[in-house]
């Protein structure tokens, strides 16, 4: 199986009752494929390219003014997974592993509207390498009025990389940024537990 897909996204976040605001738009184009080299064995892959646009607004208490800016970014991400898919009686189960990679860049931007309190944010690179191990279970049970289905997916994920530095300073200060922000908790462990149930009439 081979396919291509795309998507559009929009998000609006507000801070302090709407005084601060982030509007973001995204576009993604992806290709994906799946092969079954043997009975009950699967290998899936995906590669995607994305584009990001941000509209930012920040209330600066010192200036008593709104600082605004626009920021753009791009990212490339890919994933490769493999596992087994089996059916035992009424139970369908799957064991799988997955590796994911993301490389992104956020462009530099300079605020306007807050005078000497305007800030500049330097270019920032983002990188993520994630590994996952998971299991999926599913079953069906016929009923007099339909079919009852149950499912369970549990997954353990590990992030192998650390967060990157975001350099910033006042807009009228030239040279390397003196201040920086570091992502907290970027390298992490996650456990996903997702049960579900359905009824087909």
Q: What is the pLDDT of residue 98?
A: 97
Say which residue, 17 or 34, is predicted with more confidence: 34
Q: What is the pLDDT of residue 185?
A: 65
CB 135 within 8 A of CB 153: yes
pLDDT band at 186 (very low <50, low <70, confident <90, very high): low
CB 16 within 8 A of CB 29: no
Task: Out of 33-37, 60-64, 81-85, pick the least confident.
Answer: 60-64
Mean pLDDT of 41-67: 94
Q: What is the pLDDT of residue 19?
A: 82
Tell me the two tokens of residue 38: 């043997």
- Give, as one character, the DSSP assignment of residue 112: B
**For position 82, which CATH number holds?**
2.40.128.130
pLDDT band at 87 (very low <50, low <70, confident <90, very high): very high
Task: Please check the confidence at residue 190 and state whether its pLDDT lies above 70.
Answer: yes
The Cα–Cα gap between 13 and 23 comes to 7
Mean pLDDT of 44-55: 98
SS (H, E, C) 68-79: EEEEEEEEEEEE
pLDDT band at 64 (very low <50, low <70, confident <90, very high): confident
**Structural domain of residue 105, as residue ranges?**
2-200
Say which residue, 49 or 15, is predicted with more confidence: 49
Tell me the two tokens of residue 161: 């990389």
Q: What is the pLDDT of residue 194?
A: 95
Domain count for the chain, please give it: 1
Return the percentage of the chain with pLDDT > 90, whole number: 78
């Amino acid at each position: 199986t081979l396919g291509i897909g795309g998507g559009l996204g929009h998000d609006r976040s507000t801070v302090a009752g709407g005084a601060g605001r982030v509007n973001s738009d995204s576009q993604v184009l992806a290709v994906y494929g799946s092969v079954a080299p043997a009975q009950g064995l699967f290998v899936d892959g995906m590669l995607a390219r994305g584009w990001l646009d941000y509209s930012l607004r920040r209330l600066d208490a010192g200036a008593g003014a709104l600082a605004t800016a626009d920021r753009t970014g791009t990212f490339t991400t890919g994933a490769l997974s493999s596992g087994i898919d089996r059916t035992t009686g009424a139970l369908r189960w799957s064991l799988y592993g997955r590796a994911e990679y993301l490389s992104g860049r956020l462009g530099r931007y300079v605020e306007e509207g807050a005078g000497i309190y305007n800030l500049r944010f330097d270019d920032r690179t983002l990188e993520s390498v994630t590994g996952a191990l998971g299991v999926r279970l599913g079953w069906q049970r016929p009923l007099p009025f339909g079919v009852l289905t149950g499912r369970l997916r549990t997954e353990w994920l590990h992030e192998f990389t650390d967060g990157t530095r975001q350099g910033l300073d006042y807009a009228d200060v030239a040279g390397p940024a003196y201040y920086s922000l570091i992502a907290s908790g970027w390298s992490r462990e996650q456990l996903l537990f997702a049960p579900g149930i359905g009824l087909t009439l």
